[in-house]
Structure 1
């Protein structure tokens, strides 16, 4: 699998170097995308990640089972928890999102996109309502700063997952509303929500439970990233807790277990395996789970992403160091 990743990386670099400076090449794959509208400074920022459009298939209308019926998911396996007021909490296992990256779902009256970019460790949940329309999202196969570029099927616009912003096409400049969600170990979800729902295994032939990026989060440099490293001597693949344009090193939070700064309460507890460590996700080292709340105890949108990605998308952001 590492060999396949290396080959995909080489193809991505070749693709990026030969065609990224001119979007004309992409029009055969994206005939309905308006390339005249973009926030990109240069088309060279965008490269192929290897698979083409929908080569990584997003999931639509996922099925769910009760948490007490789940089998085969280890206690520390990471899930994305989405808890919308008045609705039964839902867990989206990373063992599925690793292979699909986007789940288009509806929770009550709220259409949501649950997303995970393995290359940035970025797990974000968005409201799919934008400018009076309900969008559905797919995986473009393109990367920018190693982060997934999504697209919406309604306008064929491109969206940057890490920032939730339209970057190419009709929806350029539009911002997706990020909803509070968090990654935690499956046992923590089951303990907190004994009546919760868990996304069922999708009907695709995939090696669910395996990590195709074995050893990635301890690598010296990111995959398909040529930007500057983060400042302050922080390792590119160190995890940080991002809230807006501020980033707290996860190592600092894990040592303190609780930080009260800037009107926020950040907490950490053990019990979540890294999805990007060993071949089997369930056997990944414990990186812990993070919650971010305001002073009234309300969950806030945040992300636990790699330091290089925070620096790439928030180059003027604040680093919340000791």
Structure 2
């Protein structure tokens, strides 16, 4: 495993991050989830990402149980706040001071820790003044319940405004967590340059495009049994946008490149996002321990300029690049 600094801070994280969206508390049984976490630890992964909204708080509990008895100082644990949780009442959502301060306490209890290394705004809240949100995050840091703050899926302008307020409050906003893959490049034109200027790193999710970049989905064929596209608990909804025949055909063109390098298509996809210097880590999920071990093997792989060019040629114009696709809900979800 290799490690990278997160933003303009002294915190190092594993460049492969284990995340439990759509898996813990939902797609896989708790015993299997624990096996996956232990496989991640065995592979040298020290950074774990979750959120209070995943499986309506259950994912945090499962991760906390799986990490029990590990040396806390050797781990970097990240979680997030914004989406509705618990009974999903009118204040159980968003980035109000009330919701942030109540949510961090719930997250720490479920994770079984006194603090998280990174506390993230899971989306931008258009219904709460940004000053209120950033002051609440600053208070979370000053109370010792989080060491750093980050955000997820914020636009370049939102990052700039949040960073300015964090600086005024003397806390460190060091990361953004966007979707990023060969097929989803919407951060490249605005978010990445702005982040580089501000000292913010990307922690990217879905580097394998919900499994599409593994090559297991074929144009004109039914999704394999047991795959995310066949999952009725949320997985199928998350992947649907990538399952167009023109996308799946382009992805098959990546197989010869992976074969030439002697790696899997998933490893190629994870290695690709890590070539971006503004990316500190790639979040990978798994429903089986062997998937964790395979994904972790992408750490340290460096792709030549020629290989990067061939990947661009294979993907062609099926990749999404419009910066406007980085967006948060205009109103808080119910």
Q: Could you tell me the TM-score, scaled by structure 1's length?
A: 0.25
1 or 2, which has the higher strand percentage? 1
Query: What TM-score, normalized by structure 2, do the two folds share?
Result: 0.24
Q: Which has the higher contact order (CA 8 A, sep 6+)?
A: 2
